[in-house]
Amino acid sequence: MSRVYNFSAGPAALPESVLSRIESELLDYHDSGMSVMEMSHRGPVFSEIAGNAEQTLRRILSISDDYAVLFLQGGATLQFSAIPLNLCGSTGTADYLNTGSWSKKAIKEASKFCNVNVVASGESSNFTTVPKPDSWRLSSDPAYFHFTLNETIAGVEFLEIPEVDNCPLVTDASSTLLSRPLDVSRFGLVYAGAQKNIGPAGLTLVIVRRDLLEKSSQSMPTLLSYQVMAETGSMSNTPPTFAWYVAGLVFEWIENQGGLEVMGELNRAKAAALYSAIDSSDFYSNPVDPAYRSWMNVPFVLAGPDLDGLFLDQAAERGLTNLKGHRSVGGMRASIYNAMPRSGVDALIEFMADFEREHG
C-alpha cells in the first residue's frame, strides 16, 4: 500500500503511527474482547480512555483546573450557536471580529441569539489581513470578544493573541489548536473541531473557564449547555466515543514528539519553507499579509488559472493530493497540519519547481 501526501483542509491527515495503533486495537481493545466502537461509554474501560485523553490534553496545553474540558458533538459550527446561548443569552451584547469566512458564519449565527457588534472587518482587503487593533470599535461592556484564530480558507492567522481587556476572549481554534503552544489562561473559552490536528471528524473540543458556566440561559437546549456537559463529564448523552479515543491517541503522539514547543517549531519551519518557495517565484503568489500568514493553511495561485487543472492532475500523479483551493477563492491550498511530515512539504516544493520550469 502506498499512502499519499494528503493536503486536505479537513478531514485531514492523521499521524501514521496513530493509524497503525488504531488498526492493532480495532477488533480487541486491550483484551476487552471488543472494539472501542462497541463498548459502553459508561463502562470502566471507556471511562479510563476518556479520562486519560482529558488528562493528556491538560498536560500538553497546561490547562488548569479553572477550566472544564468538554468533548462534544456537532462540529465547531454548532458552537456558533452554543456560545452566545451560554455566555450572553438573548439580551446581551458580544463583540465579534470578522477576518474571513468562518468569522462571518459565526457572526451570522450569533446574531440570532444576542446583539452582535462587529468591531471590525477585513472584507475590504478581501480577507488578506487583519484590521489594525486601533480601528476596532469595541463595546463598552460586552459578554465576550470572539475571533477566529486561523481562517482556513483565506489562510489568515493570528500569530499573537489580541489584547482585549474588558471581557473574556473566545476563539475558534479549529485549524490551529495543538499546532504550537497556546496560553489557555488568556481565554474565557477555546473551541475546535477535531478534524485538523486533533482526530477524526465528529468530535469538538470546548475548553471553558468554570466561572462562565453559570451564565447560560435557563431556557437553552440541555445538550448545548456547557454547565450540563461539565457536570456530566461530557456524557449527558452518548458522546462520539471512537473519535474521543482517537483524539486521546493523537494527544499521546504529540506528547511523545516532545510536546507543543516541538510541534510549533516543526510547523513554523514547514510553513516558512513553503512560503519561501512561493515568494521566490514569479509563477506562484500568495496574497496574505506576511504578518498574518497561516502556518496551517497556505493558499497560492498560479500565473494563470487555466493551468490549475493540469497542476492538480500532475500533483496527484506524484502523490500530492487535495490541493485544490476553496471554491470561494480558487487557486491552490496546502494544509500542512501536524501530521503532514516535512518530507511532504519538500515533495510539494519540488513538484512546484518542476511545474514552473515546464509551464512558466
CA distance 128 to 89: 33
Which residue among the candidates 65, 134, 183, 196 is catalytic per the annotation? 196
* Four-residue CA torsion sign, 337, 254, 173, 176: negative
Which residue among the candidates 172, 215, 244, 253 is catalytic per the annotation? 172
**Cα angle 134-156-280, degrees, rounded to a multiple of 5:** 115
Q: Which three cell numbers stand for residue 265?
A: 517549531
Active site residue 196: yes
Which residue among the candidates 102, 244, 253, 295 is catalytic per the annotation? 102
DSSP string for residues in 145-167? EEEESEETTTTEE-SS-----SS
Query: Could you count the other beta carbons within 10 Å of the beta carbon of residue 255?
Result: 15
**Cα angle 343-311-360, degrees, rounded to a multiple of 5:** 100
Active site residue 270: no
Peptide bond into 11 cis (omega under 30): yes
Active site residue 112: no
User: Of the candidates 220, 193, 167, which has an alpha carbon nearest to the alpha carbon of residue 296?
Assistant: 193
Q: Which amino acids are annotated catalytic?
A: 102, 172, 196
